């Protein structure tokens, strides 16, 4: 029996005839999703760099809250040794940082 291309995942290093398994397809799909996530994180970074501080409909606080809501930012206690200088923040204040 010959495998057909309908079992082949785009980006797979194997040929459609290699007997690609569902687990292998899942691994490839995970790699593709990770690449998409990386692209989304880059997009998010670019939007932040280009939009602040002149957003008209969203202010920085709104934007941070939305990013936090969607898991792109996390709240952490401010530590100058870790985060460097942050305007208006005292050690221990809650600040937003990019989610790991």
pLDDT of residue 62: 72
Task: Show me where the domains of the chain are located.
Answer: 8-51, 54-100
Per-residue pLDDT tens for 46-92?
677 667 766 656 577 877 877 788 777 899 999 999 999 999 999 99
Token output for 15: 């040929």
Could you count the other beta carbons within 10 Å of the beta carbon of residue 73? Answer: 19
Higher pLDDT pick, 94 / 41:
94
Q: pTM above the 0.85 mark?
A: no
pLDDT of residue 91: 96
Distances (CA, A) of 8 to 24, 31, 35, 57, 76: 10, 15, 19, 45, 43
Is residue 8's pLDDT more than 60?
no
């Amino acid at each position: 029996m010959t495998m057909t291309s309908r079992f082949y995942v785009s980006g797979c290093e194997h040929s459609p005839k290699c007997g690609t398994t569902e687990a292998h397809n899942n691994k490839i799909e995970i790699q593709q999703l990770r690449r998409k996530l990386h692209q989304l994180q880059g997009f998010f970074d670019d939007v932040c760099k280009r939009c602040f501080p002149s957003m008209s409909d969203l202010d920085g606080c709104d934007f941070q809250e939305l990013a936090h809501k969607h898991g792109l930012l996390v709240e952490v206690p401010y530590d100058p040794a870790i985060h460097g200088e942050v305007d208006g923040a005292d050690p221990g204040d809650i600040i937003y940082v990019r989610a790991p």
